[in-house]
Structure 1
C-alpha cells in the first residue's frame, strides 16, 4: 500500500511540469494569431507587442496572450513548489510578481505612439518594467539554487541583459533614437523569456525523473 501511494505521488509530481509546459505552449497560440490578424497594420520590427491592442480584434487576442502567459507562469511556479521550492522564497515571489505584472499590463493598455502618456499608459509601463526585472532574476536565483540547471542560468542571464537593454531604450535620452527596431528587440526578449520558462519546466521534469 505504501508503495502504491509513493507511485501515485511520484506520478502526480511528474504530471505538474508537463501541464506547465503544455500551458506555456498553448499561450503562444494567440501571439501567433496576433501577428497574422494585424499583419500590415502593426510592424513587428518597429512596433512593440502592446500596440496589438489597437487593431480590430487585437485587444481580445492580446489579453488572451498576456493572461495565458500569466497563468502558464503560475503553473510553472506550482511545478517548482511540487519539487520543494518554498512558497515564500524569492524565486517564488518574483514569478508571482511577473505574472501580476502581465495581468496589470493587460487591464491598463498602452497609449498610441505620439500621444501624451495617460494614467493607463504609465501603469502599463511600470508594470512592464517590473515584469522584465522579475522573471530573469527569478531564473537566475533558481539556477543558483540548482547549479546543474545550466540552461536556466544562461537563458536567465541572456533575458536579463536583453531586459536591461530594452528598459534603457525607453530612457529619455535614448527613446527617440531606437524606434526603428524596438519592436523586433522586444520580440527577441519575449523569445528569451519563453525559453527561460520552458527551461525551468524541463528542470522540474528532470528532478522528478532523477
Structure 2
C-alpha cells in the first residue's frame, strides 16, 4: 500500500466533518479488511450502516474520502453538488486494528478528532455484513459471466460469527464443533461470542 503524501494529508485534514449527511443520516463509517471471494488479495471494505451505502476500497482510507471513494457513478451522499467530507466517526470490529489505525493516524498528522477509531456495534455490523454479502455475490456473478475462477464462491457468505472477518488462505475459519453452522477466525472470537451462540447452538428438545 502506498504511503500517505503531504498533499493527501492536507486534503483529508481540510475536509468538513458533519455529524449528519445531506439526507439526515449519521456520518459514521465501519471499515474492515476483507478477503476477496474467488480471487487472491484483500480489500478495505467501507460501509455506512445508516444509509446502506457501501464501497470496496483499495486506496488509503483518507484518499477514499478525498476522492469520493474513487468509484464510478453517483454516490448519493457525495454527489457533484456536495463537497467531499470526512467521517464524523468511524469504527471497526477488530480492537487491535482500531488501535493500529488510531496510532498511525496520530503518527502521520491526521486531525486529532479523527484519530479515535471506535468499535463497531452489533447492529452496525449486521448492516455492514449485509452490504458485504450483496457486493460479494454481485462480484461472483460478474466472475461467472467472464468464466473467471470461482474457488471462493462457497465462502462468499461465510464470515467469522463474532467479528465478521472473511476467510483467506492465510487465515481460514474454524467451525463450531457442535453445530458446524457458525465459524470463527480465532479462539478469542469464539470465546467472546460463546454466550450468544449457545442459545442458537443448543440442541432442540423434542
Q: How does the TM-score come out when normalised to structure 1? A: 0.25
Relative contact order (C-alpha < 8 Å, sep 6+): which is higher? 1
Q: How does the TM-score come out when normalised to structure 2? A: 0.25
Which protein has the bigger helix share?
1
